[in-house]
C-alpha cells in the first residue's frame, strides 16, 4: 500500500509511505475499502494547519509512525468495499466520505441504514459525527456517478458556506452594512458569496483577493465589489462590517481591525489559505481575546441547527443550497484529474505556495 504523510510540526515536509497490507486481517463487523479518488483543495491545507488544535490528525493515524511525528491530512472522496466481515455491508459497494490519502482504509460500520453508516473505530468516537459518516451510493436515490468529482470538491466546502450563510442570517448579519470576505477566490468563499447574493436583505458583499486572482473573482459576479489586498484603503471603513476570514493572514486582519475600529461587528475565522502568514505575534493573541473574533466550526453549527430545525429540514435546506452551488460551479470551475501519489506531492507543494489556479478543481485518482 501507499500513503501520503505530512510532518505534523512542519506541513511543508511530506513523505510517501510504502508497505504491505494483509487484506485478510480483518475483525468481525469490519470492512476494508480501496480508496478510488479524492479531492484536494486549500481546505485540506487548513486541516493540516489545524491538525493538533481541532483533532484532524486523529482521524487516520499514519502508518509506520512510532514517534507520532507524521500525520495523514483527511480528504473527501470515494472508495469501494473490497473485503467485508459485516453482514450488512456488501463487497463492491461504493462509498462517499472522509478518507486518508491512502490506498486502503479499515472501517467498522455502525448505525447502518440503506443510505449511510458511521465508523465506530475507537480513535474516532469523540470526533465530529459529520466526518464519521459514510454514504452508501447504492442506496442513494437518483445517484449520478458523473457528478462524483463535483461532490468531492464542493460538498465539504459548500456545506461550510451554507452554515456560514445560515449563521449570518440567524444573527441578522450582526446589523452590519457590509460583509467582507477574505480570500474571495477560495471555493468556500465563492459558495458563501453566491449564497448571500440570493438573500435580498443581506448587506453588501465585498470580496478581498490577491491581485493575481482579481479578474477571476470579479468575473464570478457574486460579489458586489472586489478589491485586491493592496487596495484595502478603498474600503468604506465607516460602515458597520462583518468579516469572514478564509485566509488566516494576521497582518491583513490587523489592518482591517484597526481601520474599522468600533465599526467591526464580528469576524468569523474559517480557514487558512494564507497559512504561511499566520503568526504567533501579539496581534493574534489580542484577536483571540477580542469577543468579536470567533472561530467558526461548521460541524458544530450544523449539529446545533439540526437540533433547532430537525435533521430532516436541515438536510433539505442544506441539500438544496448544495445543488444550486453545484450548478453554479459549471460556469467557473474546471475539473482536472491528477494520477497517483507522485503527482499529489507536486500538487501539494503548489497548493502550499498558492500557485494553483483558483478555477481548478483537483481530483486525485488512485485507480490509474
The per-residue pLDDT for range 217-266, each reduced to its tens digit, is: 999 999 999 999 999 999 999 999 999 998 778 889 999 999 999 999 99
Question: Taking residues 34-40, what's their average pLDDT?
Answer: 96
Residue 328 has pLDDT above 90, yes or no: yes
Q: pLDDT by residue (tens digit) across 291-302?
A: 899 989 888 898
Q: 279 near 287, Cβ under 8 Å? A: no
Cα Rg of the chain, angstroms: 21
Residue with more model confidence, 273 or 135? 135
Confidence of residue 368 (pLDDT cuts 50, 70, 90): low
Confidence of residue 287 (pLDDT cuts 50, 70, 90): low
Q: What angle do CA 203, 170, 174 make, to 5 degrees?
A: 45
Residue 286 has pLDDT above 60, yes or no: no
Residue 89's pLDDT is what? Answer: 96
Lowest average pLDDT, out of 38-42, 89-93, 202-206, 287-291, goes to 287-291
Segments of the chain assigned to CATH 3.90.180.10: 2-143+333-365
Lowest average pLDDT, out of 8-22, 46-60, 92-106, 272-286, goes to 272-286
Q: 285 near 313, Cβ under 8 Å? A: no
Task: Work out whether strand 14-18 and strand 94-99 pair parallel, antiparallel, or are unpaired.
Answer: unpaired
Question: Taking residues 120-147, what's their average pLDDT?
Answer: 91
Question: Taking residues 126-131, what's their average pLDDT?
Answer: 86
Q: How far apart are CA 287 and CA 221, in angstroms?
A: 32
Q: pLDDT by residue (tens digit) across 63-114?
A: 988 889 999 999 999 999 999 999 999 999 999 999 999 999 999 999 999 9
Q: pLDDT by residue (tens digit) across 14-34?
A: 999 998 877 778 999 999 999
Contacts of 134 (CB under 8 A, 6+ apart): 95, 96, 97, 98, 107, 109, 116, 117, 118, 119
User: What proportion of the chain, given as a percentage, has pLDDT over 70?
Assistant: 95
Contacts of 229 (CB under 8 A, 6+ apart): 208, 209, 210, 211, 252
Residue 24's pLDDT is what? Answer: 75
Report residue 162 as a C-alpha cell.
Answer: 451554507
Segments of the chain assigned to CATH 3.40.50.720: 156-299
Residue 185's pLDDT is what? Answer: 94
**Any alpha helices (H) in the chain, and if so which ranges?**
42-49, 148-170, 187-197, 214-220, 250-260, 282-289, 298-309, 311-329, 340-352
Q: How far apart are CA 11 and CA 321, in angstroms?
A: 33
Residue 132 has pLDDT above 50, yes or no: yes
Lowest average pLDDT, out of 2-11, 143-152, 178-187, 194-203, goes to 194-203
SS3 343: helix
Q: What is the DSSP letter of 186?
A: S
Question: Taking residues 354-358, what's their average pLDDT?
Answer: 88
Q: Which is nearest to 31 in space by CA: 162, 131, 121, 111?
A: 121
Residue 279's pLDDT is what? Answer: 40
- May I ask the CATH architecture of the domain 2-143+333-365? Alpha-Beta Complex (3.90)
Confidence of residue 277 (pLDDT cuts 50, 70, 90): very low
Residue 367's pLDDT is what? Answer: 84
- CATH ID of 156-299, from 3.40.50.720, 3.30.43.10, 3.30.420.40, 3.40.50.150: 3.40.50.720
Question: pLDDT averaged over the chain?
Answer: 90
Confidence of residue 327 (pLDDT cuts 50, 70, 90): very high
**What is the DSSP code string of 87-134?**
TTS-TT-EEEEEE-SBSEEEE-EES--SSEEEE--GGGTTS-GGGGEE
Q: How far apart are CA 256 and CA 134, in angstroms?
A: 40
Q: 62 near 3, Cβ under 8 Å? A: yes
Q: How far apart are CA 296 and CA 159, in angstroms?
A: 13
Answering whether pTM is above 0.85, one says: yes
Residue 364 has pLDDT above 90, yes or no: yes
Amino acid at each position: 500500500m501507499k500513503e501520503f504523510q505530512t510532518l505534523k510540526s512542519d506541513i511543508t515536509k511530506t513523505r510517501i509511505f510504502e508497505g504491505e497490507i494483509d487484506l485478510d486481517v480483518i475483525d468481525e463487523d469490519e470492512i476494508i475499502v480501496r480508496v478510488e479518488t479524492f479531492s484536494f483543495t486549500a481546505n485540506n491545507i487548513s486541516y493540516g494547519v489545524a491538525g493538533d488544535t481541532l483533532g484532524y490528525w486523529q482521524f487516520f493515524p499514519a502508518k509506520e509512525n512510532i514517534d507520532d511525528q507524521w500525520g495523514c491530512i483527511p480528504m473527501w472522496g470515494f472508495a469501494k468495499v473490497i473485503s467485508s466481515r459485516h453482514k450488512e455491508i456488501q463487497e463492491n459497494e461504493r462509498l462517499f466520505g472522509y478518507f486518508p490519502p491512502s490506498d486502503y482504509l479499515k472501517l467498522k460500520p455502525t448505525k447502518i441504514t440503506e443510505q449511510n453508516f458511521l465508523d465506530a473505530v475507537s480513535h474516532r468516537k469523540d470526533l465530529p459525527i459529520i466526518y464519521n459518516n459514510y454514504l452508501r451510493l447504492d442506496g442513494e436515490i437518483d445517484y449520478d456517478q458523473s457528478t462524483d468529482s463535483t461532490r468531492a470538491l464542493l460538498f465539504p466546502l459548500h456545506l461550510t458556506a451554507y452554515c456560514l450563510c445560515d449563521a449570518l442570517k440567524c444573527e441578522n448579519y450582526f446589523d452590519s452594512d457590509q460583509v467582507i470576505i477574505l480570500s474571495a477566490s477560495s471555493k468556500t468563499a465563492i459558495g458563501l458569496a453566491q449564497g448571500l447574493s440570493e438573500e435580498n436583505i443581506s448587506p453588501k458583499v465585498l470580496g478581498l483577493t490577491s491581485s493575481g486572482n482579481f479578474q477571476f473573482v470579479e468575473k464570478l459576479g457574486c460579489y458586489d465589489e472586489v478589491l485586491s489586498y493592496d487596495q484595502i484603503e478603498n474600503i468604506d471603513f465607516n460602515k458597520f462590517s462583518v468579516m469572514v476570514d478564509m485566509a488566516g493572514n494576521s497582518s491583513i486582519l490587523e489592518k482591517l481591525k484597526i481601520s474599522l475600529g468600533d465599526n467591526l461587528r464580528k469576524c468569523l475565522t474559517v480557514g487558512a489559505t494564507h497559512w504561511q502568514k499566520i503568526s504567533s505575534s501579539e496581534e493574534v493573541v489580542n484577536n483571540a481575546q477580542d469577543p468579536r473574533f470567533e472561530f467558526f466550526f461548521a460541524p458544530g453549527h450544523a449539529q446545533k441547527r439540526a437540533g433547532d430545525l430537525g435533521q430532516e429540514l436541515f438536510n433539505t435546506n442544506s441539500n438544496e443550497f448544495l445543488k444550486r452551488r453545484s450548478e453554479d460551479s459549471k460556469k467557473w470551475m474546471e475539473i482536472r484529474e491528477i494520477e497517483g501519489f507522485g503527482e499529489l506531492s507536486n500538487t501539494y507543494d503548489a497548493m502550499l505556495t498558492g500557485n494553483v489556479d483558483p478555477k481548478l478543481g483537483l481530483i486525485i485518482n488512485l485507480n490509474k
